[in-house]
Structure 1
């Protein structure tokens, strides 16, 4: 997550607008604003914006500013140990939580960890964004983690969130092993296939 955003423009309350270091003084009589901005190659480009366009840009930048603020806040509150369960309370109902799904999913590698119980509801809130993180976890061959994902998360998924996992569930169902962990994985995978895909036991 480091250096995800390098900066943003600032709009001040005194109606002076700063675009990457180039200031524009806006008066009530103006209908157009001329700005000179730098592009990525450090060349200067002239822009002419109406005040309506400028306000639209302002709103967009303010949203980006809030997003950056939330990402930095959540990054500072990522658990540093399995005992940091209270830090996860900050991740509830914040859109930017989906930027940290790998880290949040790792919290349920062992359901005896104190952080695990607080991670589950946050992951369920973000279930439609979890595909990439879950597929990577399935490839880890960490059977306890895979079992936890199936049992504590995917059993609670809504149908529209689970349709993309059919191939993975079929693979897990057919995994041949005599280990107790794999037997549990096969059983839950089969249950999920029946529940969401009307799959019959072979």
Structure 2
């Protein structure tokens, strides 16, 4: 079993572990970020918003993790990354996604279009240009 598992939420109702995570030192949380990202795959899970709140406090570390999701095939996860994470990052970090946002806005796949990723990307691009 992964030694980090003792810190990670056990299920979608495990608020106790999320609150403990929020009290940990930043350096202790860094190796947990990729696993915590999985909890924003479905923002209907009860702990998802709490986890997202924690993740956005690591903007620099989140950029490559979000880019990995945007390059993958899970269109719902992409949607939540844009809507819940990217939009809440400071502007200089949101700028890191400009090429991905342009691609999503201009050339979405059929699945991305169904999840309205093109519209969400366009909204973020407009915010960047304001």
If each structure's strand is expressed as a fraction of its own residues, which one has the higher value? 1
Decide which of 110, 114, 119 is 1:180's aligned counterpart: 114
Tell me if the contact between 1:166 and 1:193 (Cα under 8 Å) persists in the aligned partners. yes
Task: Tell me the TM-score normalized by structure 1.
Answer: 0.56
Residue 193 (structure 1) aligned with residue 125 (structure 2): yes
RMSD: 2.1
Task: For 2:105 and 2:33, locate their aligned partners in 1 and report how far apart those are by CA, in whole Å.
Answer: 25
Q: Runs of 5+ in structure 2 lacking a partner?
A: none
User: What is the DSSP-based 3-state SS (H/G/I as helix, E as strand, rest coil) of the residue aligned with 2:8?
Assistant: coil
User: CA 1:119–1:113 in structure 2 vs 1: closer, same or farther (change >3 Å)?
Assistant: same
Structure 1 segments of 4+ aligned residues over 6 angstroms from their partners: none
Q: Which has the higher contact order (CA 8 A, sep 6+)?
A: 2
1:42-99 CA-partner distances (Å, limit 9, x unpaired): xxxxxxxxxxxxxxxxxxxxxxxxxxxxxx7x65221122222321112226312222
Structure-to-structure mapping, 1:122-137, within 5 angstroms: 122-137=54-69
1:128-174 CA-partner distances (Å, limit 9, x unpaired): 21111111111222111111111111111111222211111111112
Q: Runs of 5+ in structure 1 lacking a partner?
A: 3-71
Larger Rg: 1
User: What is the DSSP-based 3-state SS (H/G/I as helix, E as strand, rest coil) of the residue aligned with 1:114?
Assistant: coil
Task: Tell me the TM-score normalized by structure 2.
Answer: 0.83
Residue 87 (structure 1) aligned with residue 17 (structure 2): yes
Task: For 1:110 and 1:76, locate their aligned partners in 2 and report how far apart those are by CA, in whole Å.
Answer: 22
Structure-to-structure mapping, 1:8-23, within 5 angstroms: none
Count of residues in Structure 1 that have an aligned counterpart in Structure 2: 125
